[in-house]
Every structure is written in structure tokens, then in C-alpha cells.
């Protein structure tokens, strides 16, 4: 089997939901942000705006708010840093994909630096007033025309998850679905 550092990191990255009460080094945070900013985007429009949230009171408020839309939110207040991934969109409707690509690149980069991360979806498909997305944007001072896609708690892992995947043969098909 061909193997290298990138393939190994992709294979071994697991989402981390529990974090040590220790800070993230600035250099590592910077490398994770760089990984987000080097993501691909529709029309190469570089639509990201990252808000690095370190303020404990703000993290606690975001934690309380996001309980409305997703199950495991404790990482927001427990991780030393939560990065909000916002997308300007450049007039396209690809904000979810663009946020997701950046979130994944950042989680992978975090793993390669012995950090851990996971992502929580906060976007509201209908972009309604009063939604978690809209309330979180107000808390973070984000303009109305920017979409807030994901929150990425980031820190030093305090757990080791060993989850694996289904067999590759069960999910790959050649020419037509089904492998008879």
C-alpha cells in the first residue's frame, strides 16, 4: 500500500471533543489558520474570515446559544480557542462547502501538530433572523451579509478516539453502483 505523511494524517485524524486546560501555542494556531486560508474556493474568491475566540465569557455565551442546534457543544467553552469560520461568499451560494473545506483543512492541520479539533454547524439554511447563526454573528460582530458556517473548538486533546471506518470495498464502486 502506498503511504506517506499526508495519507497517514488523513487516516489517523479523529475529531477531538475533549481538551486539556492548556493554551495553544501561537505558532501552532497560526499554522492552523494558514491551513484554512490555503483551502480551495469557488472561483478562487478566497471568501474566508476567521474569528479566533479566546474570551471565556464569549465562548460560554456561544456554548449556551449553540445548544439549540447541535448536541455536543461543550468543546466551545472547554477548548482554549474556538475559531468561527465565516464566508463572504463572493455572491455565490457555496458558503457551506467553502466553510467545510476550511474546517477540514484546519482539523487536519491541527492533528498534524498534536492538537485536536471538531466542527459544529451553526449556519441556518434559511438565514432567518433569530436563528443561531444570526445570533452568533451578532455576538461576534460579523456583518449581516457574511455567513457564519462552522465553529471549530481547538486545543490539546484530552482523549484518544480509535473509531475506524467501514471497509473501502463496501463504499467504492466501479462503473456502476454495486459490485456483483
DSSP strands (E only) in 8-134: 48-53, 81-87, 116-117, 120-121
Stretch that binds ligand FMN, among 1-9, 21-29, 55-63, 119-127 (CB under 6 A): 119-127
- Cα separation, 153 vs 139, in Å, equals 17
Report, in Å, the least distance between residue 56 CB and ligand FMN: 21
The answer to whether residue 15 forms part of the interface with ligand FMN (CB under 6 A) is yes
Chain residues 147-176 in contact with ligand FMN, contact rule CB under 6 A: 161, 163
CB atoms within 10 A of CB 173: 10
Query: Taking CB under 6 A as the rule, does residue 119 contact ligand FMN?
Result: yes
Distances in Å between the Cα of 38 and the Cα atoms of 34, 117, 145 are 6, 18, 23
Residues 120, 142, 154, 156: which binds ligand FMN (CB under 6 A)? 120
* Contacting residue, 52, 61, 70, 90, with ligand FMN by CB under 6 A: 70
Q: Is the C-alpha dihedral spanning 103, 51, 31, 117 positive or negative? A: negative
C-alpha cell at 109: 492541520
Beta carbon nearer to ligand FMN, 33 or 85: 85
Residues that bind ligand FMN (CB under 6 A): 14-15, 70-72, 100, 118-121, 161, 163
Amino acid at each position: 500500500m502506498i503511504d506517506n505523511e499526508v495519507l497517514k494524517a488523513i487516516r489517523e485524524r479523529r475529531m477531538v471533543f475533549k481538551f486539556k486546560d492548556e493554551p495553544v501555542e501561537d505558532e501552532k494556531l497560526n499554522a492552523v489558520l494558514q491551513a484554512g486560508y490555503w483551502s480551495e474556493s469557488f472561483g478562487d474568491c478566497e471568501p474566508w474570515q476567521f474569528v479566533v475566540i479566546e474570551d471565556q465569557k464569549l465562548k460560554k455565551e456561544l456554548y449556551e446559544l449553540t445548544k439549540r442546534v447541535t448536541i455536543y457543544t461543550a468543546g466551545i467553552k472547554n477548548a482554549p480557542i474556538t475559531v468561527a469560520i465565516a464566508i463572504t461568499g463572493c455572491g455565490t451560494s457555496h458558503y457551506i462547502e467553502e466553510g467545510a473545506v476550511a474546517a477540514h483543512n484546519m482539523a487536519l492541520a491541527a492533528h498534524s501538530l498534536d492538537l485536536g479539533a471538531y466542527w459544529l454547524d451553526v449556519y441556518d439554511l434559511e438565514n432567518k433572523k433569530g436563528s443561531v447563526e444570526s445570533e452568533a454573528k451578532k455576538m461576534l460582530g460579523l456583518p449581516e451579509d457574511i455567513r457564519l458556517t462552522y465553529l471549530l473548538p481547538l486545543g490539546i486533546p484530552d482523549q484518544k478516539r480509535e473509531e475506524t471506518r467501514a471497509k473501502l470495498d463496501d463504499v467504492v464502486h466501479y462503473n456502476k453502483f454495486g459490485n456483483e
